[in-house]
Amino acid sequence: MSVVAASHSAVPTAGPYVPVRIDSFPYQVCNGKNNRDCDWKATGALLDGPTFDSSSIMTPITGGMTLLSPASVPNRFYVINEEGNGYEQFYLKNKALSIDLDLSQVKCGYNAAFYFSRLPTNVPIGTGYCDGQNTCNEFDVLESNIAATQQTSHSCTTNSTGTYCDPWGCGVNTGSDSNIGPHSSVIDTTLPFTLVTKFYTNNNQASGELVNITQVYQQGSKSYTFPQSITPSYCTSLTWNPYYPKTGGLAAMSDALAKGITMIFSLWGSGDMSWLDGGNTNPRCAAAANGTNQFTFSNIKISNL
């Protein structure tokens, strides 16, 4: 299967909008020796504003959420702060980000996404959306369905003439890796699994420059580190992407991660996600051919590296 590692996290518009707000959307922050001191953060979540259809379903579960996107209706929501008056800010340099996932019902042609974007902090919640397709640094921890997962860095830079972003991004895709996928003997995507994303810096401190982003997949007693990580040398080797060298690269993403970024989830379908899953004729797609397009995630935890 041939998959182009370019990311497309922009969500298509849909009809009339009825806002949905969840007052409890917890995540853990762990510190101290061996990250043993963990605290739950009692944040909330807000369905995105006026271009999204109220028939999108967002159901809280213990420690997480289930998104359901029937009939190609998109949805996207932000994590908001405990006070409910702004977007929660995350600082990920020299951190490990863990999340439990269930993609078993997400068909090919759909995109279950977990990502961060440098949204403005001085706007009412539910407004000010931006991403790497327009004016904001965006890091996609996960764009996914039953057949493949992908992580992508979309950098942006600003100069006297405006803001310029990398809409294609520097990404890595698991679609051709037999160790990850439906009914794989290592990480079987028809079953729940844990994804751990690690943001390494050049001095092993949050003050350092971002130099390497790796992902580890865990399921039961099995663990698999995806062999290709996102590094400056890997990104510059993607000569098909003319935007990366002109938009600040990982240095720009490093700056965004230091200033704070907003956590976002979405589930949407366009009928063709061949850039992600290789197209609906991919044999892997059969595992969710009758899926309900339900995306479940929980147990988000941020720890020190």
Question: Would you name the residues annotated as active-site residues?
Answer: 138, 143
Q: Which two tokens stand for residue 215?
A: 């992902």
Question: How far apart, in whole angstroms, are the C-alpha atoms of residue 108 and residue 27?
Answer: 29
Query: Quick one: the chain helix, strand, coil %, rounded to 5?
Result: 10, 40, 45
Phi-psi region of 300 (alpha: psi -120 to 50; beta: other; left: phi over 0): beta
Q: Which two tokens stand for residue 113?
A: 């996404």
Question: How far apart, in whole angstroms, are the C-alpha atoms of residue 193 and residue 182?
Answer: 12
Terminal-residue alpha carbon distance, the chain: 34
State residue 288 phi and psi, 5-degree precision: -125, 25
Burial (Cβ within 10 Å: 0-12, 13-18, ≥19) of residue 190: middle
CB atoms within 10 A of CB 40: 11
Question: How far apart, in whole angstroms, are the C-alpha atoms of residue 154 and residue 239?
Answer: 15
DSSP 86-104: SB--B--TTEEEEEEEE-T
